[in-house]
Structure 1
C-alpha cells in the first residue's frame, strides 16, 4: 500500500488485486526478472519455493484442484516458463485453474534483446487458456485480475507476462479497476435438454453410466449415485481418468473402461444406452479401427467442458453442470423395478508372499487398501501398476483419486504436496514408480521444508517397467534402455532433507504402514517409503 503523499506503484496495486481474488499463496522458483516483485514481500503473501518449475506448477495444480480456486504461480522468463511447459500442459488437461505470472526483461530495452529477454509469446503453445503481455505497466494489475477469471472459467493456466521494470511504475487507478467484477457461465441445463436425456434413458432396456473427472465433487457423487440406483444400472469409470466421478466401492461400480475400441465394445456390449457424465466419449490410448460401441447403442454426454462436448461423437451432448443436470434427470425418471442388480465382481487381493517370494506392487496396494482411511486422497503415477491400483485401492470419497490427465510423468509428487497444503487435515498418499519419481524428485525438499505430511510410497522395481512391457509387445527381444536397480530414491530423499525408509519384505512394509497410516492426517512431515518390488511380467492396459 502506498504511503501518504506517494503514488501507488504497480507492485502495490497488484498485491491489492491478489488479495481481492484470494491469490495469497505464491508458488515459485524465481530469477532476477522477478526480484523486484518479490523484494519486501508483504507478510500476508505466503511464498512456497519449488526447486524446479515442474514442481512449482505441480504443487500449484494440486493446490488449485483441491481448493477449487485458482492458484498463483510466478515463473522466470524463458528458462522458467520453458521448464514449466509440460506441467502447464498437465494442468490444462487436469482442468486446474492457475494464474501464471512470467517475468520478462526490462521493457525499456527489449527492442535490443538483452540478456534474459524472453521470446515468450507462444512458448507454451495452446496450453494456456489465455496469455497476455500488457501494453503498458499500468495495465498489469487489471490483466492479473482478468487472468483469474480466464483461469477459473477456462479451467487452465492463464498467463500474464510482466517486464521487470513494470513493478516500480506508477499505477493508474482507473486501469486497476477495469477488470471484471464477475463472469458467470451457464450452470443449469434447460428443460428440453433434461427431457431429451430422460426420454433416451426411458426408452432403454439396459442403460449404463460412465463417470469421469468432471463429476468429482460431493454433489456430483451424490447425484450420480442417486441416478444409478434409480436406474439400477452399472457405472463405469472413464479410462485414464484424472479423478474419480463415482464411489468405486459401490455395488453398481463396474470398473474402469478399457482404452481401446475393441475393449470398449466388449465392456459396453448389451447396453443400448450409455450416458457419460463429466467424461469424454471416449478416452483412448492405442489406436484401433472400428466403432466405440456396437451398432444400435445410443450415446449421450453431460459435461461442463465445451471442448469435451464438441469432440464427443454422441447423439446428445448437454453442456451444463453435471451434478445439477444429473440431479434433475434422476427426479424425472421412474425407479427400476424387479430384483436389484447384484454387486459387481471385484478383484480379490493377492495372498501375502510366501517366504522367499518377492514383493509385487499388488501386495503393497492391498496392504494400503486395508489400512487407508476412507477419505484418503491417493495421488497416482505408477504406469505399470495402475490396473492393480484401480482394482485394489478404490476411491471411496470425492477427491479420493488424482492422476495426470495428460499422461506425462512428474506430476504426482508435487501435486500431492499441493493437495495436502490446500487441505492440511486430509490424509494424502502418493503411489509412484521409482522411474516416475525421478522426474520431480526435487519436490521432496519443498515437502520437507514446509512440513507437508504426505506419505510417498515408491514402488521400486529398478526399471521403466511399463516401457519394458511395451517394448516386448512391439516384438523387441530386449529394451534399448538399461535398468537402474542401483538407484536409491530413499537416499535421494534423505539428501533433500526428507525422511525416508526402504523396505524389502512384506513384514517390514506392514510394520511401517501400521506405524504411519493411523495418524497420517495429523502428520507434520513427509515420509518417503521406498518398497522394493519385482516388476510384473505381463502388460495390462
Structure 2
C-alpha cells in the first residue's frame, strides 16, 4: 500500500487576506515539504516571498545541479522533493538531470515561474510559451493552471501525481501575477484532503470505512458509471440496502450502476457546484464510488462541500483521485471494494421500507405530437425488460429517468464526453455485442445527423437494432442552456425539415413515422419481429433536461 497521510497541524494560521501564495505555502507544509531546491529568477520572486520559517531554500548555482540534488534527496528519503526553476531557460538547463529523474521514478514537484498571464501570448521576455509541453516526455504530468484560482488545486494535484502509482517528476508552470490573487474559500478543503492507494482494501481500511458508514446518521452513496463497467452492480445494491443510504448517480452518467426505480434511488446528481452542494448538505457521510469528483457542467459557483460532511472517494483511477478538489481519496479495485464493504456493513436492525418508485402519469399524443415522457412510458411497457438503451437525447433526460425502469447491468449507454455523434453508431456496436438482448437507440434529431451513416452499416450487416428518433426540430439542450446563460438570441438552434424516413430508407433501413400510441406500439413490435434494423420517427414537443 502506498499512502500519503498529510498532517494539517503544521499549516500556518489563516492570513488576514488569504492569497494563492499563502495557500500554496500551507499546502507545502501539509504535504511535508520543508525545503525548496532552486535557482531563482525574476518570475519566481513573488512565490518565494513570505516563505514560512519551516521551509528552507537550498540554492544551487546551475539548474542541472539543482535537479540533481533534489533527485538524490527524493531517492534517499523516499519523500517528494520540491524544485523551483526560472521560466523556460532554467527549465531547459535542468533537462539533462531530469532524464535521470524520469528513469529513476523520483517524485519531484518542479515548478517554474511564468510571465504575467496577459503577456504570455505576445511572447514577452521570459515567457514560457506552451509551458506544459516543454518537459515532455520527461515528466509524467505537466500543467499550467487555467486561472489563478486553480493554482492551489493544481499544486495539490502535482504533489499527489508525483507520488501516485508509478512515481515520477511532474512540472507546474505558474504565472507570477497569480500569487497575489485572493484565495478561493474552497481552497481550505485542499488542506483536509488525503490520498491512498491499495491494490485491495486492507482489513483495517474496510473496518474503518464500514465503521464510518454504520455510524453515519444520514449517509449517501454516489455511484459512478465505472460500477456498471466492472460489473459491480449487485454489490452496490447490497451495500446500499444494508446501509439504508440514499443513492445517487454522479453527474452526467454514461452507464447505469443502480436500478433507477429502486426505492433508495434519488436520481442523478445535478451537474453544477451549487446544486451538488445543496443536494449533499443534508448528509453527514457521502461515499462516492467509481466516479470522478465531479464532472460539473453548468457553472454555478458555490462551496464545494459543507463543513460537516465526511466525504470518501473510492476510484480505480489515480488521475481522478489526484485532480479532485476535496475529499479523502482511495485508489483501489472498486468492484472488490464494494464487495468487501457490502460484506462488512451489517444490514440495519430496523429496515426502512422503501417501495419501488412509481411513474408519473403521461398524456397521449396531441395532433401526432408526443410528449417524450409518453414515448418512454410506452417503451417501458412494450419493450423487453432487459432492453439495453443507447441514449443521445439530452433535452429529454428528466423524462427518461422518471419513466424508465432499468434493472439489468449494461442497460444504459450515454456519450461520456458530452459531444454529439456517439448515440446512433454506438447503438449499432452495442447490439453487435449484446446479441441476446434488444438494443434501442434513443436519438435526438439534432444528434442523429452526426452519426447517420451508421444506418448503412446496420443495414448491410442485418444488425437488428431499433433507432427511435425524437424529432422536435431544434437543439433542445442548447435552448435550455441559452436560458441559463441569458443568450436567447443566438443563431443555429433549429434543425427543421429533416426527413429521417427518406434518409433511413436510402441507407437500406426500414423506417416508420408514428402519430399515435397504437402506431408506436405496432411499429415497435414489427421492428422486433423482423430481426432487421428499423428506424421509428416520433415527433415530440420541446422539453428541458
The answer to whether TM tops 0.5 is yes
Deviations 1:284-342 (A, max 9, x none): 11122222332210111221122222223444222122121111112222321224143
Name structure 1 gaps, 5 residues minimum: 1-121, 130-152, 155-184
Partner of 2:176: none
Q: How many residues align?
A: 356
Tell me if structure 1 keeps the 8 A contact 2:272–2:301: no
Is the 8 Å Cα contact of residues 472 and 478 (structure 1) preserved in structure 2? no
C-alpha deviation, 1:346, in angstroms: 4.7
CA distance in 2, matches of 1:187, 1:529: 47
Confirm or deny: 8 A CA contact 1:253 1:344 kept in the other structure.
no
Q: CA deviation at 1:367?
A: 0.8
Query: Structure 2: which 5+ residue stretches go unaligned?
Result: 1-132, 141-164, 167-196
Question: For residues 165-314 of structure 1, what are the structure 2 equivalents within 5 Å?
Answer: 187-216=199-228, 219-314=231-326
Give the match for residue 348 of structure 1: 360
Q: CA deviation at 1:218?
A: 7.7
CA contact (8 A) 2:368 2:516 kept: no
3-state SS of the aligned residue for 1:338?
coil
Matches of 1:259 and 1:369, distance apart in 2: 26
Q: Residue 250 and residue 462 in structure 1: after superposition, are their counterparts in 2 closer, same or farther (change >3 A)?
A: same
Cross-structure match for 1:330:
342
Note if contact 1:245-1:278 (Cα within 8 Å) is conserved in structure 2.
no
Residue matched to 1:463: 474
- The answer for the alignment partner of 2:532 in structure 1 is 525
SS at match of 1:475: coil
CA–CA distance in structure 2, aligned partners of residues 423 and 249 of structure 1: 23
1:511 paired to 2:508: no
Q: 1:271 to 1:477 in 2, by over 3 A?
A: closer
Q: Deviations over 1:435-454 (max 9, x none)?
A: 10000101110111011110
Q: What CA distance in whole angstroms lies between the structure 2 residues aligned with 1:335 and 1:313?
A: 32
Change (3 A) 1:416 1:198: same
Distance in 1 separating the partners of 2:245 and 2:506: 51
Q: SS of the counterpart of 1:216?
A: helix
Per-residue CA distance 1:343-396 (angstroms, 9 max, x = gap): 37555141323x547312111111111122222110010011122112212421
Q: Give the aligned CA root-mean-square deviation in angstroms.
A: 2.7
User: How far did residue 230 of structure 1 move?
Assistant: 0.8
CA, structure 1 residues 227+314, in 2 after alignment: closer, same or farther (shift >3 Å)? farther
Superposed displacement of residue 457, structure 1: 0.4
1:409-424 correspondence to structure 2 within 5 Å: 409-424=420-435
Write the mapping of 1:137-148 to structure 2, written as runs, cut at 5 A.
none
Report the counterpart of residue 53 of structure 1 in structure 2.
none
Change (3 A) 1:410 1:235: same
Q: Which has the larger radius of gyration?
A: 2
Question: Residue 484 of structure 1 is aligned with which of 483, 495, 499?
Answer: 495
- 1:75: which partner in 2? none
Give the direction of change, closer, same or farther, for the CA distance of 1:286–1:344 in structure 2 (3 Å limit).
farther
Shift of 1:189: 2.2
